Structure 1
Amino acid sequence: MNRDLRKLWLIIPDQLPSVIRRCPKCKEKTEFQNSGKFRVNANGRLLDVWLIYRCSHCDTSWNMTIIERANPENIDKEEYKGFLSNSPQLAASYGSNRELFIKNKAEIMEIKTGYHILETPTITPINKESCLEIQIKNPSALKLRADVMLAGALEVSRSQIKKWFDAGLVIAGQETLLPGARVFDGMLIQIKKEEVIRQELLDV
C-alpha cells in the first residue's frame, strides 16, 4: 500500500437496501430489490441511466433514475463503461446512496447489516505531516464509529487505535477526533506522524 498517496474508502453495506413501492402486478406494496443492472438510453445527444430494481414476488421491474437528460460528454468515461458493463461497484454505490433515493421519492426498507470497504487509490499526495490520509465515501449513511472502522480496516488492535486517538494523532477537518466520533460521507481522516505531535507539544 503506497502511504504517500491518499486513499479513498467507499463504505458499502453487505446487504443493499431495498425499495418499498406498490407493484402494479401484485396490486400491493412489495419489496423491490437491487438487480445490479443498469439501463442506458441515448436519445439524440442526451443520455439517461437507470438502476433496475425488481419486485421480490413477481419480478416486475422499476427503474431508479441515476442520470437524466445529460450530455454524454459530461459523464466520466470510466463510469459510463461501468454502466454499460453493469459494474457491481457502481450498482452498490448508487444503490446505497440515500440522497438518490430521496430524489426518486423512493421508500427505503431499512436493513441492519454489516459492511465492507472498497479501497480505491488516488493520485493526491498526503500532507507531509501525515502518515496516512483516508477520504471516506459513506453514501448509505451507515452509523459507524471511526475508531472501530479504522481498527478493522487497518487490521490494528483496538487498544492501539485508542492510543492513536488519545495521543491526538487522528484528525478530521483540523479537529482532533474523539474515539466515539461518527464517520460521515466526505470525511477526510488524517493520521499524523507521532514526531509531529511531539514537536507540537514542545512548541506549546
Structure 2
Amino acid sequence: MSSHPHIALPWAVRRTRLPLLALRCVACPCGHATTGNGRFRVNANGKLLDVWLLVNCVSCDRTSKLTVHDRVPVHTLPADLLAGYTANSPTLVAETLLDPLTARRNRFALAWDGCWELHAPPVPEDPWPLKITVTFDDPVPVRPERLIAHGLGISRTEIARRVKIDIPLNRRTKLDFSFVLVWSLQ
C-alpha cells in the first residue's frame, strides 16, 4: 500500500440487531421472516433429538421451523448446548442464525439492511497518509466503497482518487480489510 509513515485508525462494523431472513412464507407473498423473541423447539423421540429455530413471517406472523439438528443422538450434544436450546439462549439464537451451514440447510439468506452500524473515530486533518483498518464483529456483507463513503463522508469519485486498497471497492466483503487514505492530488 504505502511505505510512508502513517496514522492507523480502527473502524468496526457491528451488528445492531439480528438480521431478517430472506425466506419465502408459505401462507403469504412476503419474503422475509424474523426470529422474534428467539425460541428453539426441542423434540426427543427415544434417544434421538430434533432441534428447530422458530421464525415468524414479518407480514402474517406465521411460524416456521428452521432445522438446527435432525435426528441426532442425545449423547452427541454437549450438555451446555442442550441447556442453551431448552432455555432459548439469545446468544445461541444469534450463533445459530449466523451459522452458514444452518442457512444453507434451510435455504435462507440474511437481509442485513439496517442491522449494522460503523464505529469509527474522527479522522484527523493531518498527517497524510492515513491507514484505516476495518474489522467485522459479525459477517455483515458490505461494499467497501459504501462503507468508506459513509465513514469519511466523501463521494465515490473522491474514493477512487484518494483510497488505496487491495480488494475490489464495489464487491461485497465480510472479511476484515485495510486501506490507505492519501491526500488528493488535483
Relative to the length of structure 2, the TM-score reads: 0.51
- 1:9-158 aligned at under 5 Å gives the runs 9-10=13-14, 16-22=20-26, 31=30, 33-36=33-36, 37-39=38-40, 41=42, 49-55=51-57, 56-57=59-60, 59-66=61-68, 69=72, 71-72=77-78, 80=84, 84-86=88-90, 90=94, 94=97, 100-105=102-107, 114-118=113-117, 131-136=131-136, 137-138=138-139, 144-152=142-150, 154=151, 156-158=152-154
Q: 1:168 to 1:38 in 2, by over 3 A?
A: same
**Distance in 2, Cα, partners of 1:46 & 1:192:** 54
Q: Which residue identity does 2:78 align to in structure 1? A: P
Q: Which residue identity does 2:153 align to in structure 1? A: S
Contact 2:50/2:69 (<8 A) preserved: yes
Alignment deviations for residues 159-187 of structure 1 (CA, whole Å, 9 cap, x no partner): 4x755653453x3xxx2x45x422223x2
Partner of 1:166: 161
**Distance in 1, Cα, partners of 2:178 & 2:170:** 14
RMSD between aligned residues: 5.1
Number of aligned pairs?
Answer: 156
**Distance in 2, Cα, partners of 1:99 & 1:157:** 36
**Distance in 2, Cα, partners of 1:7 & 1:50:** 35
Q: Which residue identity does 1:103 align to in structure 2? A: R
Identity of counterpart residues, as a percentage?
A: 14
Q: Which residue identity does 1:166 align to in structure 2? A: R
Residue 39 of structure 1, CA deviation: 0.8
Relative to the length of structure 1, the TM-score reads: 0.48
Structure 1 gaps of 5+ residues are: 23-27, 121-129, 195-204
Residue 15 of structure 1, CA deviation: 6.7
Alignment deviations for residues 127-147 of structure 1 (CA, whole Å, 9 cap, x no partner): xxx8432234445x5xx5312
Residue 21 of structure 1, CA deviation: 4.5
**Distance in 2, Cα, partners of 1:134 & 1:48:** 39
Residue 104 of structure 1, CA deviation: 1.4
Partner of 1:125: none
Residue 64 of structure 1, CA deviation: 0.9
Is the aligned partner of 1:190 residue 2:150? no
Q: Which residue identity does 1:184 align to in structure 2? A: T
Alignment deviations for residues 89-116 of structure 1 (CA, whole Å, 9 cap, x no partner): 828x827x7763331145x7x98x8434
**Distance in 2, Cα, partners of 1:46 & 1:149:** 46
